[in-house]
Structure 1
Amino acid sequence: MSGEERTPSYLSVGLSVGGDWRVTCHTYPDRGPILTVDAAGMSLVVSAKQSTPDANHLDFAYALLAAVNDYLIACETHRFDAEEAANASTDVTETAAAVENRAA
């Protein structure tokens, strides 16, 4: 080793979701569930370290649920705001055209 101070590793994974996705929760009679997110030819698998989820994993699952709910609400809000803005632009254009037609 060179003796230089080591910096910690860093990993960041991003997924921009298109139309090729699948989210599945696999359940089994003798072990905890496995959540999979498949998209873009990759799979993200989430499961408990132990065969039976413990309290820490349940806390994680609740936090994941809350974050996914927040994500859904933010996506819906953004989509509805964009649709309203597009409709407002269309209304303004149609109103201007109607005024021009009446003036003619």
Structure 2
Amino acid sequence: MKIVFAAPALVLALAACTQERPAPLPGPVGVCQAAPAQRFVGQQATPALVAKVQRVSGARSARRITPNMRVTMEFNESRVNVWVGLKGEAERISCG
């Protein structure tokens, strides 16, 4: 009998130990917001920087666009674009 009554108490104790989640980004989930990522313009557009840009912008995907690279021109509200200059720096960050 004691085991039956101990299980609900254990569940309640574990539920009280859950971690607090971080605050969500402003705006709809997965929709790109380029303004917060503008601070990365001028930095070397490494894969790590592109990942930071994606996280800060709230976008679901990111693409690194190099000079003379062919890209599709359809607008995708959940994608952030990092436009790279000839020296490898992020020249422009935009959504789409």
Which of the pair has more CA radius of gyration? 1
TM-score, with structure 2 as normaliser: 0.24
Q: Which has the higher contact order (CA 8 A, sep 6+)?
A: 2
Query: How does the TM-score come out when normalised to structure 1?
Result: 0.23
Tell me which protein shows more helix as a share of its residues: 1
